[in-house]
Structure 1
């Protein structure tokens, strides 16, 4: 359970009265930005499109209150199309209300404000998940844009959702073709649940204390404790858990010469809130799993800087970045209302485990430097060469916490009780580091005007330098095997190997020679890393009205400490584009991927990280050696390592029945097979989707669109549980022969032997997903009055059917049935806007948004009112305590009356 201000400068100008009004608005907006502690800009170009649920499109001061251009895009009242035949969106008319100052500045601006009202189930998670809407005054959006022609200076300020949890602000200023500064600040809420039933005070902090009515460590009467948990939970229903992401930043871009540009940026992201989190006590799968509340108080600092160079033949980019994550809450302590039964722990007494502790995400850093180079090769078939080299390092050195907070506890057969001290650790901090390297080379050649050939080679690697030993160097076994206390020496540490788990309520321990030894106790962290090489060749041959393209790529993975040392995958792709059919463009592609690999070993990759590496496997007749030789049945194949055959067919058709109408059809059919997997993913895995979209721009002032999307996926899994066999005992008979020290691994891992796994006791799962999405929309300008309406419907369904092992008992078969109830989610969203001019500079906007959401989730079935899943007759520890009641059905509406004022 454990271990594991912005400063704003005022510029005084001599301005006209309109400009004074403008500066009041801008000043108010900047003041709101300055209040927030985390004011800054994206370091790497993210968050450049600011907005929220009521401002989905970026705020543009030039066109925000304008209508669509009656002349369309090309100066004619007919729809304009891209070279590939797609309709362009009709642009809006830029505002003609441009004002001038005596200093030579030309400016314009707008503000939209009014009142909003929400009704219905507007407090439910489904409605408010990523937005903050409410009753009362609302400053929806504002914007100011200005420029000075004689000096080429400019600035722009935009914002919206003022004083809400989804507010946003942006500012850009600079000199055209010289330098530019961008600043932004935005907030994004994320509501995880509005139906949590909290048992604790202190949500959002690192210390959760039980509410009145509950006893830390339980009362000793489990039936009474279960009833008390239910009572307190029901008294604290509809607790909201969520966070608000606050992010801001600055970025400077400057042209030093015509060829050289430099840039630097900084951003700060802060997340504060809480979310449901799982806890468990003891071992062997745990006792009384319970949802607790994880606090969130994160800060991430991102820095980036670099330069761009370009000339007629060459271009070069150099970039360095650093990301620093800080968790302001180091550990989470929580009181438990249940009395758990400790494992084989000396010093443990009933009721002593009153509180548990988690070591939360550690502070960490990530650094990267990247160089990119490209050169035109006009004398080499009009070619182009590109190269990317990158190096990175991710690190954390968090101070480790002891295995338990309870003093006096010690594992059986261990003499030392220092497990509540960092003296029980092999090191005091994590000292974790992963380094990455990347080299990516590309060459593009054009032997003729119609033929393009590309070749690439990409190498990427990760190196994991983390090595933690689960060794207590200041503890001794009571009896090391020869009657003398001591420890076991390995990997430079002498002491007791293993650890206390779940705050000391149980242990995962390698005992001395006088105890029961085991070969599967984790004693070291596994430093997973890999190398990946991709090489490929692509050719594109353009015919008169069509084109053919073909590609081949080979991907080779070399992995450390995985079941397969190496896998290789050949990827073939063939594509065809035809534009010769009248008013129609057809695009087709077919891809075939084939992955194979080296020998598959289920046990050996992990053997040196388990206690079997330092404790010899017993060889005497009758010895149970399962923990030394069995990691998984040898027919199991992990999906990222298994042999795989994958076929993908893509099709797209664009049809233009008339100049102002587009119809698009697209589909994908994907089939995946795992030919060598006896267990794991079996049969065929299918992922198919189909989409149709219609766009009718019957005039520059009017537009109708519709789309429908369908997706379906199927997945089959098959496995066999351990148990029910004759056992992995030296000298025992099996269906594959007598078990000996030499063949124990081969026999005991095989379900065909009937020793540990019994082939006939397999189970199968049939998993099906389907989602349907429908969208409709209409926009029309009735002269000065403008109207738009949109409707979106989305529904998803998950079906899981299964078969049980043959050795399941009758009661289990009767209770389990043949599958889970279908899990379904549906959502309907209707939104409409009516814009009516009041004067030449003022318009009234009526906004309506209605949402309806419906959920059916079997995870919460039966726990909606009582969160305690009791073990009959209710006098034992509960199977689980599920405090989140899950997503709730909702029906909610938002209506707003807003005024748009063009300054």
Structure 2
């Protein structure tokens, strides 16, 4: 079949004659084969389970070719000499996955048990690589001698332009997981566990063209590299125009080693109450990330009582703290051309990669707390009423990046079974969440504050000339969700009927503030006024009704008839105005945009056979 696919995407807005954002369809034709084998032995002392899992993906379409109906123009206003109306993308490669696992366990004294698991896995693909570009003739931008950013397509539209012809990509994983538990008395038990896991990315690739002696690749398969001078995407230590271009030349083989220790105990108080405590220490060592060590300590308390005014009550509280070693805001220099021999640093220095105060949310220092209460109350002989209340809160130690998250919610559910043939269920739920982040815009210049010659471009610090305090902004996203439903099922004997209704509603608000209008990307008066007004609220609502009939023909044959009717109403500022028109300036949007209201019906039949 086919699915939607995006083509070249660059400079759609300021330049009306360059083709803009293009969408096409891509072919879909692949096969996945899974193999699962296991061997189990239950002995008097030891028990073991050996397992092999394999998955083999084969894509019958390894790349996508598409043709653009437009001719690309560069930023200096001249049409390109190169034939770049044809584009090409690599699709998902053929790949293999293997995993071997051995689980061992045995009984111990004091009502104890010991378990250990070991596993090794590997993911590999070695597909043939495609040429860096498909253009013909001359690509790039020629301004005036000696400012010549053009390139010969013949040196890049062949696989001879690659440092190797196949991917040779491989990621290996290893696991050791041991656990011991003892319950010496009916009232007390404890357990301990140690888990070690490693993900080792062995993929190494250097983007080097032996035909030209250059590093990197033609950006955007010709579109970006043929539009903007100095952004061709290549580094050349022998050419003054290219020897200071800092581009990606190596892949980043992300990986990590994670060691987790857990110690916990549980105490039974009388016949109806118990208390549990679990401490966890998670030691993570990422590779090629902003931190080389991240430690997460967590403690959790659980209390259960089976006799609180006739109800069962479960309470839990959890606290976690994460920290690590020194945060390096830019650990990627080794994968860029600045690490290669012959690279000449610009006179004004290399532009800062990002603001030094940025903290990525999975590596930032964080404190977290979670609380949950579950109450289950038997209502008469055949009904149960239950309620769940929960709240989560995270605070991140970050001036720039994610700063806080908060979630609170509650659900109430009623289950009733008046007869063995009839069940009734009803529920209501509500949840609110908040997400706070902050960022800073770099100072304006020819290239968003990162062009050569911009004062202070090498200073990554918040409050410096490139990232001034005046350009900082804050965003607070708030969302509330409501849901409810009802279901009824009755067995008439050879026919079982069921009906279900569900309601879902969501309300979202994006609030923000900024230090000065310097934080805004667009500072014309109309844009500043729109920013002051803020974004409209997002509203979503859907109602769904499901009906079903199950017929039992005999012991091996059954038929199900089902139907669904759904209505929805949406108000989303991302799609504001799309309900009236889909053509703006030189841009045409081929989807229908956001539908303010919709309804849909579905009927079907299903045949069930037991062999």
What band does the TM-score fall into relative to the shorter chain?
0.7 to 0.9
Any idea what SS the aligned residue of 1:663 has? strand
2:234 and 2:245 in contact (8 A); partners too: no
Q: Deviations over 1:782-826 (max 9, x none)?
A: 899975432111123332233355224233213445443333332
Please state if 1:371 is matched with 2:102: yes
Other-structure match for 1:802: 512
Given that residues 264 and 279 in structure 2 are in contact (C-alpha distance below 8 angstroms), is that contact kept between their aligned partners in structure 1?
Answer: yes
Correspondences of 1:178-197 after superposition (within 5 Å): none
Name the counterpart of 1:759. 469
Q: Does 1:497 align with 2:215?
A: yes
Question: Is 2:252 the partner of 1:526?
Answer: yes
2:590 corresponds to which residue?
883
Unaligned runs of 5+ in 1: 1-272, 476-494, 735-743
1:814 and 2:529 correspond: yes
Partner of 1:515: 241
**1:184-223 pair list within 5 angstroms:** none
Q: 1:894 to 1:750 in 2, by over 3 A?
A: closer
Distance 1:886 1:387 in 2: 53
Give the 3 Å change call, closer, same or farther, for CA 730–900 of structure 1 in structure 2: closer
Q: 1:568 aligns with which of 276, 295, 301?
A: 295
Equivalent in the alignment of 1:681: 402
Classify the secondary structure of the residue corresponding to 1:580.
Answer: strand
Contact map agreement 2:82 2:136 (CA 8 A) in 1: no
- CA pair 816-887 structure 1, distance change in 2 beyond 3 A: same
Q: Distance in 2 between matches of 1:601 and 1:284?
A: 35
User: Is 1:607 the equivalent of 2:333?
Assistant: yes
Aligned residue for 1:859, secondary structure, equals helix
Alignment partners' CA distance in 1, 2:551 and 2:162: 71
Partner of 1:33: none
Contact 2:304-2:315 at 8 Å conserved across structures = yes
Unaligned 5+ runs, structure 2: 141-147, 226-231
Q: 1:846 to 1:502 in 2, by over 3 A?
A: closer
Kindly indicate whether residue 350 of structure 2 is the aligned counterpart of residue 626 of structure 1.
yes
Q: Please, which moves more after superposition, 503-512 or 365-374?
A: 503-512
Structure 1 residue 689, shift from structure 2 partner? 2.1
1:425 is aligned, of 140, 143, 162, to 162
Aligned-pair CA distance for 1:297: 1.4
Q: Which has the higher contact order (CA 8 A, sep 6+)?
A: 1
The Cα of 1:651 is off from its aligned counterpart by 0.9
Is 292-301 or 546-555 further displaced after alignment? 292-301
Q: TM-score, normalised by structure 1?
A: 0.59
Aligned partner of residue 155 in structure 2, secondary structure: coil
Query: Judging changes above 3 Å, is the alpha-carbon distance between structure 1 residues 331 and 729 closer, same or farther for their aligned structure 2 residues?
Result: closer
Distance in 2 separating the partners of 1:589 and 1:817:
43
**Alignment partner, residue 469 of structure 1:** 206
Pairs within 5 Å for 1:598-677: 598-603=325-330, 605-614=331-340, 623-627=347-351, 630-675=352-397, 677=398
Which residue number in structure 1 is paired with residue 228 of structure 2? none
| Greater Rg over alpha carbons, structure | 1
Q: CA-to-partner distance for each residue in 1:624-647, whole Å, 9 max, x for gaps?
A: 2133xx211011000001001110
How far 1:367 sits from its partner (Å)? 0.8
Question: In 2, Cα distance between the equivalents of 1:275 and 1:706?
Answer: 39
The 1:882/1:598 distance shift into structure 2, 3 A limit, reads farther
Change (3 A) 1:730 1:420: closer
Relative distance call for 1:834 and 1:474 in structure 2 (3 A) is closer
Residues 503-555 of structure 1 deviation map (CA, whole Å, 9 limit, x = unaligned) = 22312122434225436311111111110000010111111110000000000
Paired with 2:51 and 2:261, the residues of 1 have a C-alpha distance of 25
Query: In structure 2, what is the equivalent of residue 356 of structure 1?
Result: 87
Matches within 5 A, 1:443-482: 443-475=180-212
Shift of 1:869: 3.8
Residue matched to 1:830: 545
1:857-896 correspondence to structure 2 within 5 Å: 857-864=572-579, 866-870=581-585, 874=586, 878=587, 881-886=588-593, 888=595, 889-894=597-602
Q: Deviations over 1:844-870 (max 9, x none)?
A: 998654222233343333345654442
Instruction: Within 5 Å, give how 1:29-428 maps onto structure 2.
Output: 273-281=1-9, 288-342=20-74, 349=80, 352-377=83-108, 379=109, 381-409=110-138, 412=148, 417-428=154-165
Alignment of 1:699-848 (within 5 A): 699-724=419-444, 748-754=459-465, 756-780=466-490, 788-803=498-513, 806-807=517-518, 808=520, 809=523, 810-833=525-548
CA distance in 2, matches of 1:751, 1:383: 56
Contact 2:73 2:79 in 1 (8 A): no
Structure 1 residue 290, shift from structure 2 partner: 2.7
Displacement after TM superposition at 1:351 (Å): 8.1
The aligned counterpart of 1:70 is: none
Q: Which has the higher strand share?
A: 2
3-state SS of paired residue (1:579): strand
Shift of 1:761: 0.6
Contact 2:575 2:593 in 1 (8 A): yes
Structure 2 CA distance, aligned partners of 1:344 and 1:450?
Answer: 81
Whole-angstrom distance in 1 between the partners of 2:117 and 2:184: 25
Cα gap change, 1:341 to 1:308, in 2 (>3 Å): same
| Equivalent position of 1:136 in the other structure | none
Instruction: Answer whether contact 1:826 1:853 (CA < 8 A) is retained.
Output: yes
Q: Is the 8 A contact 1:332 1:358 kept in 2?
A: yes
